[in-house]
Structure 1
Amino acid sequence: MKHGQASRTALSAAGHRAAHQAIEGGLLFADPLAIRILGRDAEEAIALSKARPERRALRFFVAMRSRFAEESARRAIEAGVRQILVLGAGLDTFAYRLEPREGLRVFELDHPATQRDKRARLAQADIAEPAHVAYVAHDFEHGDMTDALVAGGLDVARRTFVLWLGVAPYLTEDAVYATLVALARFPGGVEVVFDYANPPHAIEEARVRDFHRAMAARVAESGEPFRCFLETALLRERARSLGFVEIEDLDLAALVELYLPHIPVKPRPGPGGHVVRMATG
């Protein structure tokens, strides 16, 4: 992202979530705040999605990854977890739709410029900042994430659920693994859901490979290029070496089987976009 400016990819992801509400009625992922938080940008995002049918696949992936992450988070809360951490929160609205619970705290960590933009949009949309939300300013590529979180009030000795969506592909591989190392060291334990992409050359279907290359070109034009692609087998191996003992990795085919089991034409399993849930013991 450009220095001093809010993330363009955070705005784009919010646009996909808003368009899903307007075009599909939130079929895969209901977010009644998605359009409101975008404010003046919502109409443009929805119009763009309607004008470009090829965006539907990415819109559905964004919706399914959000649903999977939030369902996992809600299960953790029902099991007693009271610390939620949203890494690279962008314009995500989970914390503002989450019903209050005694002792519940949601920490949103993001770049200062993106965080300022979000809070301004919340105020403009008349969306209240709940008492359970704490904002932590941080740049993933600089400084210690854990120090920033502890200074912001997070207790690493308590179990924490982490949502980390739409961020890893834009970081360096070193930054992605440094974040996983930091999370794995939380003494209270963590459960994290994040998304990643396999290297484009590993994608066998030409149509899917071309889609990923076109998407990479678009985000590069925005000044926030893809910087990290991960091999699934290597990610699992490294995650286990860090102490993640429970790993659930879903590619696009698995997500479609989970949330759209009755559609006649389904994607084939294989390299592409993934959502993974990992937990330490």
Structure 2
Amino acid sequence: MSAAASAAHLLVDDTPSICADTLAQAFLGKRAEELLGYRRSYGGYPVLSDARTMAVTRNRYTEDPLSELADRGVDQYVILGAELDSFAYRSELADRVRVFEVDKPVTQRWKQAVLAETGTRVPPSAFSVPVDFEKESAGSLPDHLVRAGFAPGRPALVSWLGVTMYLALEAIRQTLAVISGFTPGTELVVEHLLPAGLRDEAGQSYAELVSAAAAEQGAPWQTFLRNRL
């Protein structure tokens, strides 16, 4: 759904684009016509426009500081919950940083199949890091990263987008504790959803509709965060 929102941004919204994910449509594969046709027809519907806004602004918000960090010598980018994130395959910045895509093994296999089916070049700077946090603790993340080539003595940018709402609070705390142990200079961009009392009317309407859809798909929202844990 995030890939569909990013792809639709280039088809539905006015230019200039906020974040040009030029591979998102290809990554949708056989479902592209179905998903994007619907968004062309109903792109102005609040839930769909909100989803586009969320998908592209969070990517832009992350990739802009990554460029600044790379200019300062930071050359490691860790994506927690990478799914169909296309940064490593479309951005010139990927030539300057090593990208570590962390996700469930089954999701990683699915993505590798998508990359092969679309003929997408996998650069030598992209590393797949399969981790099943349902079977392992968050504390195993550094070991998995190091085995993939991550340098623990150098700083990184860590992005954690579209994930925390699906996790229990303790799992979020454990993951943050692990990231806090990364070398000084490491930065984290994390997305979270506000609790009902802090949402405006539009946000509440979006949350009610999308949370219901997520629950129907077997991925209910579990945690909403203020500015403190």
- When normalised by structure 1's length, the TM-score is 0.74
Match of 1:43 in 2: 33
Q: Does 1:117 align with 2:115?
A: no
- Structure 2 counterpart of 1:80, one-letter code: G
Q: Is the 8 A contact 1:15 1:45 kept in 2?
A: yes
- What are the superposed Cα offsets for residues 42-100 of structure 1, whole Å, 9 maximum, x if unpaired? 22221232344121122112111111111111111121111111111000000112325
Where does the alignment leave 5 or more consecutive residues of structure 2 unmatched?
Answer: none
Shift in alpha-carbon separation, 1:73–1:142, aligned structure 2, 3 A: farther
Tell me if the contact between 2:50 and 2:206 (Cα under 8 Å) persists in the aligned partners.
Answer: no
DSSP-derived class of the 2:187 partner: strand
How many matched pairs? 221
Q: 1:26 deviation in Å?
A: 6.6
SS of alignment partner, residue 157 of structure 2: strand
Q: Do residues 230 (structure 1) and 218 (structure 2) align?
A: no
TM-superposed CA distance for 1:140, in Å, is 3.1
Native 8 Å contact 1:196 1:229 kept in 2: yes
Deviation at residue 206 of structure 1 after TM alignment: 3.5
Computed over aligned residues only, the root mean square deviation of the Cα atoms, in angstroms, reads 1.7
Structure 1 gaps of 5+ residues are 1-11, 236-281
2:166 is equivalent to residue 170 of structure 1: yes
In structure 1, C-alpha distance between the alignment counterparts of 2:90 and 2:71, rounded to whole Å: 16
Q: Find the counterpart in structure 2 of residue 155 from structure 1.
A: 151
Give, as a single letter, the amino acid of the residue that structure 2 aligns with 1:139. Answer: D
- Native 8 Å contact 1:17 1:63 kept in 2: yes
One-letter amino acid of the structure 2 residue matched with residue 16 of structure 1: A
Residue of structure 1 equivalent to 2:132: 139
Per the alignment, in what secondary structure is the counterpart of residue 140 of structure 1?
coil
Runs of 4+ off more than 6 Å:
none
Task: Give TM-score scaled by structure 2 length.
Answer: 0.90
The Cα shift of 1:165 comes to 1.3
Identity %, equivalent residues: 34
Provide the rounded CA distance (Å) in 2 between the counterparts of 1:207 and 1:83: 36
Further displaced range: 148-157 or 76-85:
148-157
